[in-house]
């Protein structure tokens, strides 16, 4: 756990320095008023999808919004409210029982609380590991959201030099997002492998993980596609 904590701190430090550097680079760009940029881009007939103020990738944004929102919802529950049953999620009670959440955090006024309430403090270590996993998944989802919606593609500086139209397109937003997408694609691959490993065991508890596998696999494919190509 100490090694994982150090790795997390290093990742947070690198990410923070990267944001500071990106902010400083944006301040150093040439100054062209917003009205002038709009007029020149309209006269040049540029594609609206290539607007530097648009999102890095709308497809990645929609995928992250659908898949990572569900992962973040379950992770936040496991982190702050362990053992709480979300009634709108199908078979959530079976998931909590299969993962052992009822051993360390039985719901109040339930059969599990009557049977295992006195033994719950003995499973404090299991509760810590569960919350730590929820924290890591939340941080991963946060990085995905930031990379998809936190900034635009970049900046466009246009003008006329020696009678010729000059266009300097700076795509720092796309580069930043692609770096994160590559890392998160590997993270989804590891999560997919873990789910696939425990799929046979989950079937014994009548817990079907096929939808989980398909969602994580689809997000991994999209992140890898737009991150590496």
pLDDT tens profile 96-126 = 988 889 999 998 888 888 888 888 899 999 9
| Confidence tier at 135 by pLDDT (50, 70, 90) | very high
Q: What's this model's pTM, rounded to 2 decimal places? A: 0.71
Q: Residue 91: name the closest of 214, 227, 210, 225 by CA.
A: 210
List phi, psi (to 5°) of 45: 70, 40
Q: Is 96 helix (H, G, I), strand (E, B) or coil?
A: helix
Q: Residue 72: name the closest of 136, 13, 20 by CA.
A: 136
In sequence order, what are the residues at sequence separation of 6 or more whose Cβ sits closer than 8 angstroms to the Cβ of residue 143? 15, 180, 183, 184
| Range in 53-62, 156-165, 171-180 with the lowest mean pLDDT | 156-165
CA within 13 Å, CB half, 187: 19
pLDDT value of position 140: 92
The three-point CA angle 182-23-61 to 5° equals 40
pLDDT value of position 144: 93
């Amino acid at each position: 756990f100490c090694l994982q904590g150090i790795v997390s701190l290093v990742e947070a430090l690198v990410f923070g320095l990267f944001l500071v550097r990106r902010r400083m680079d944006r301040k150093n760009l040439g100054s062209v008023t917003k009205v002038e940029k709009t007029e020149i881009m309209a006269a040049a007939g540029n594609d609206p999808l290539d607007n530097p103020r648009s999102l890095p990738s709308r497809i990645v944004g929609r995928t992250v919004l659908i898949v990572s929102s569900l992962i973040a919802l379950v992770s936040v529950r496991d982190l702050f409210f362990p053992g709480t049953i979300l009634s709108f999620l199908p078979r959530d009670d079976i998931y909590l029982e299969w993962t052992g959440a009822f051993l360390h955090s039985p719901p109040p006024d339930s059969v599990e609380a009557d049977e295992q309430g006195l033994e719950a403090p003995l499973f404090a270590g299991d509760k810590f590991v569960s919350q730590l996993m929820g924290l890591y998944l939340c941080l991963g989802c946060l990085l995905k959201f930031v990379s998809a919606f936190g900034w635009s593609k970049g900046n466009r500086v246009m003008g006329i030099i020696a009678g010729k139209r000059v266009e300097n397109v700076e795509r720092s937003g796309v580069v930043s997002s692609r770096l994160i997408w590559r890392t998160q694609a590997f993270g989804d691959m590891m999560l997919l492998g873990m789910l696939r490993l425990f799929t046979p065991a989950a079937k014994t508890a009548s817990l079907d993980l096929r939808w989980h596998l398909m969602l994580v696999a689809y997000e991994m494919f999209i992140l890898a596609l737009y991150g590496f190509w």
